[in-house]
């Protein structure tokens, strides 16, 4: 699991998942329902990408976005440091 702090971190996670699936950007974009340019910009960490498309890409790559208070690891109880 990766902690995402920047658009670049998110882009790297998306790129890693895509390449692990053995997909090039053009093929992946078609399967993910986005354009190749959008996927390229997302993977490069462009901060102005559209959130609804980012969420679609994450879902279709089998990735999950998990929000929690900073400093709480995955599986931590709410309110526990």
- Contacts for 68 with CB less than 8 Å, ≥ 6 apart: 74, 76
Residues of the chain with pLDDT under 50: 77-81
Burial class (CB in 10 A: 0-12, 13-18, 19+), 16: middle
Tell me the C-alpha distance between 76 and 81, whole Å. Answer: 8
Q: What is the pLDDT of residue 79?
A: 44
pLDDT in tens, 23-38: 999 999 999 999 999 9
Q: What is the pLDDT of residue 26?
A: 97
CATH of 7-60, one of 1.10.1760.20, 1.10.260.40, 3.30.1660.40, 3.40.1350.10: 1.10.260.40
Tell me the C-alpha distance between 21 and 62, whole Å. Answer: 10
Domain extents for the chain? 7-60
Q: What is the pLDDT of residue 42?
A: 95
């Amino acid at each position: 699991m990766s902690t995402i702090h920047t658009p670049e971190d998110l882009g790297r996670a998306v790129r890693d998942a895509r390449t692990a699936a053995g997909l090039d950007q053009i093929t992946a974009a078609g399967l993910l329902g986005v354009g190749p340019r959008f996927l390229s910009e997302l993977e490069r960490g462009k901060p102005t990408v559209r959130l609804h498309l980012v969420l679609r890409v994450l879902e279709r790559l089998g990735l999950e976005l998990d929000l929690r208070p900073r400093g709480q690891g995955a599986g931590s109880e709410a309110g526990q440091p």
